[in-house]
Structures are given as structure tokens and as C-alpha cells.
């Protein structure tokens, strides 16, 4: 996939960030967009463009979901509910961090692990911009991005987290009507999450109090393991494993 990616630096864009990402992907920096996917660094931050679409992570748009008592209606907030304080979570499949935002809004310090360097760069940029918004800054201040493979991260966890969150949904399994057009762009970057069973085993081995797995509503349990309880919505469900 990285062969199709162009890194485009425009006026006001973060040159160091563009250089770092271009080096990681082994591609040159360009001053124009490519034919397929382009990561544009300009004065608005980072955006992913292509196929007539443009996508930029936007946590400010999520503030409404977690304010004025609405957080308690979020199914994911119910899934990670805890009576304890000083909560720590690992989101082992961070993506653009929208689910991690809900977990952080609940009060968890969240380590967001993302293996794809383009998604990790877009995610870090979205967090950086949201820190400027007074209504989002405390929440995103609890979100810490780790770029790399979560199986590796989980294997060196010294202190077991309270919650490990997994959302390895392979996009092709979702009904296309459910996929937001902008997310379709992000999904072009993602490799199929081939090792979801291995990831689940690594999560168990890390010794958390709870593992929450997001699944398409009708799909089988991850690794064939029955959860202790399930929270179901219209299109997805959260399988909760308590230890
Ligand atoms: C379905 S997306 C997650 C979306 C996310 N829950 C959100 O709210 O934006 C899955 C993400 O997990 C990442 N991923 C899959 N396996 C991983 C692994 N072993 N280590 C780190 N990231 C992984 C993929 O690159 C992809 O970005």
C-alpha cells in the first residue's frame, strides 16, 4: 500500500513531520498530490486525500458525544465502566482513536497502539490540534500514542492495564452502507487484521482485569472464546471478558 502513497508538503506544513513520515515509508516528499493516496502537510495539520475525498481526524467533533451527560449513553463507556480510580487502558488497535476518545473521556489514561505509520501520524496530529480546544484538551491529554505492533507492546507490559480494548474489525466484513465515506479512505491504508487471534491471546497474557472486543453484530467470537457478557447495538456489539 505504501507504494501508492505520496507525502505532499505545502506552505505552513510541518517539514520535520513530513520528512519523518517520508523516511519511514521510503518515499520522497512532493509538492503536489499523487493519483491515489496523499498525506498532505499544510497549515491545517495533516490530512489524507484521494479518490475525491479528504480526511482529517477531528476529536472536537466528538465533544458533543461525551458532554452534558451523554457519555453514560455510549455503549463503549458502559463496557469499560469501573468503580476504580487511576484507570489505565491500552487500545491495541487505535486507528483514528475515536473509541479511545470515549475511553479517555470516561477517565482512563489510554495508550493507543497503532502499527500503520500514516494512521499513527494522522492520529498524533488530531490529538495535537484537539489539545488547543479547552473542551477536549483534558480528554486528549490522557491519550498517548505508541507507534508499533501491539503484540510487542503487550508482551512488555510491566503493569497490567485495567482494560485492553480491541477493535480489529476487518473492513470488508462491514456492510458498505455503514462505512462513512471518509473512513473508506482510511481503510485503504489498513492491512487486513490477519493476526486478530494472536492479538487476543497477547491481550490475555498481558493480565488485564478486562478485555473489551468490538465485533460486527453477527460475527463469531474472537478466537472462539465466549465473553462473560455482551453489550449489543444495531450494527456492532462489545464482547466483555472479565478476569
Ligand atoms: C478497525 S481499526 C480501529 C478503529 C478505532 N477503534 C477507532 O475508533 O478509530 C483497526 C486499527 O488497528 C490497527 N492494528 C491492527 N492490528 C494491529 C496491531 N497488531 N498492532 C497495532 N495496530 C494494529 C490497524 O492498523 C487499524 O488502524
Determine the distance separating the centroid of ligand 1 and the alpha carbon of 147, expressed in angstroms.
11
pLDDT tens profile 56-106: 999 999 999 999 999 999 999 999 999 999 999 999 999 999 999 999 999
Q: What is the dihedral of CA 18, 23, 27, 28, to 10 degrees?
A: 60
User: What gap in Å lies between CA 39 and CA 185, rounded to an integer?
Assistant: 11
- Judge whether 2-55 and 60-242 match in fold: no
pLDDT tens profile 173-211: 445 554 566 677 887 886 656 688 899 999 999 999 999
pLDDT over 80 at 169, yes or no? no
Which of 40-49, 145-154, 193-202 is predicted with the least confidence, judged by mean pLDDT?
Answer: 193-202
**Average pLDDT in the chain:** 92
Determine the distance separating the centroid of ligand 1 and the alpha carbon of 178, expressed in angstroms.
18
Residues 6+ apart with CB under 8 A from 66: 74, 101, 102, 105, 139
In terms of Cβ atoms closer than 10 Å to its own Cβ (0-12, 13-18, 19+), residue 166 is buried
User: What gap in Å lies between CA 221 and CA 108, rounded to an integer?
Assistant: 26
The CATH class of the 2-55 domain is alpha beta
Ligand 1 atom nearest the C-alpha of 214 is: 6
Determine the distance separating the centroid of ligand 1 and the alpha carbon of 120, expressed in angstroms.
10
The CATH class of the 60-242 domain is alpha beta
Determine the distance separating the centroid of ligand 1 and the alpha carbon of 38, expressed in angstroms.
20
User: Residue ranges of the domains in the chain?
Assistant: 2-55, 60-242
Report the pocket of ligand 1 as residue ranges, CB < 6 Å. 93, 95-99, 113-116, 119, 149-151, 167-169, 190, 193, 195, 199
Ligand 1 atom nearest the C-alpha of 95 is: 27
Amino acid at each position: 500500500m505504501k507504494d501508492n502513497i505520496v507525502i505532499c508538503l505545502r506552505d505552513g506544513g510541518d517539514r520535520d513531520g513530513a520528512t519523518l513520515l517520508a523516511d519511514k515509508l521510503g518515499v520522497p516528499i512532493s509538492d503536489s498530490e499523487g493519483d491515489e493516496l496523499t498525506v498532505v502537510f499544510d497549515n491545517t495539520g495533516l490530512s489524507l486525500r484521494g479518490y475525491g475525498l479528504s480526511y482529517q481526524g477531528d476529536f472536537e467533533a466528538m465533544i458533543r458525544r461525551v458532554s452534558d451527560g451523554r457519555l453514560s449513553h455510549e455503549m463503549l463507556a458502559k463496557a469499560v465502566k469501573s468503580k476504580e480510580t487511576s484507570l489505565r487502558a491500552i487500545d491495541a488497535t487505535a486507528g483514528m482513536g475515536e473509541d479511545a476518545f470515549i475511553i479517555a473521556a470516561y477517565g482512563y489514561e489510554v495508550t493507543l497502539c497503532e502499527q500503520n505509520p500514516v494512521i499513527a501520524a494522522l492520529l498524533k496530529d488530531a490529538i495535537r490540534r484537539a489539545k488547543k480546544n479547552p473542551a477536549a484538551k483534558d480528554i486528549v491529554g490522557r491519550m498517548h500514542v505508541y507507534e508499533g505492533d501491539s503484540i510487542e507492546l503487550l508482551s512488555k507490559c510491566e503493569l497490567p492495564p485495567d482494560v485492553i480494548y480491541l477493535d480489529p474489525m476487518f473492513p470488508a466484513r462491514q456492510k458498505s452502507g455503514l462505512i462513512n465515506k471518509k473512513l473508506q479512505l482510511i481503510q485503504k491504508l489498513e492491512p487486513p487484521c490477519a493476526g486478530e487471534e494472536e492479538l487476543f491471546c497477547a491481550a490475555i497474557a498481558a493480565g488485564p482485569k478486562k478485555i473489551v472486543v468490538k465485533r460486527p453484530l453477527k460475527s463469531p467470537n474472537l478466537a472462539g472464546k465466549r465473553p462473560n457478557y455482551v453489550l449489543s447495538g444495531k450494527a456492532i456489539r462489545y464482547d466483555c471478558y472479565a478476569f
